[in-house]
Amino acid sequence: MSVAADLSSPASRGVAITPSDITDLPAGVRALWVGGAGDISVILADDTDPVTLSAIPPGTLLPLMVRRVRATNTTATNIVGLR
């Protein structure tokens, strides 16, 4: 199915995320699904400095445009990027 998507459209793709301190995601994501509780350190799409979000409960959808999920300070698990 080929439909033009914008940022208010629901996600149409998902990618399992392996946190890395040096590698950006292959394509930006518009949200993160956090399957296992913990902290998550990210670099947002238009930023260069990391930010750590603490005590995220399992099953949380974070509406963030992210270019990197960092290994340092990330303790959450089962992270999925939604595009």
Dig out the tokens for 64 from the structure.
Answer: 């963030």
CA distance between the termini of the chain: 15
Q: Which residues are 33's β-sheet partners?
A: 61, 80
Look at residue 55 and tell me whether its pLDDT is greater than 90. Answer: yes
CB atoms within 10 A of CB 47: 13
pLDDT tens across 3-46, in order?
Answer: 555 666 778 889 999 999 999 998 879 999 999 999 999 999 99
Dig out the tokens for 6 from the structure.
Answer: 């914008």
pTM over 0.85: yes
Length of the chain: 83
Residues 6+ apart with CB under 8 A from 54: 39
58 vs 11 pLDDT, higher one: 58
Give residue limits of the domains in the chain. Answer: 20-82
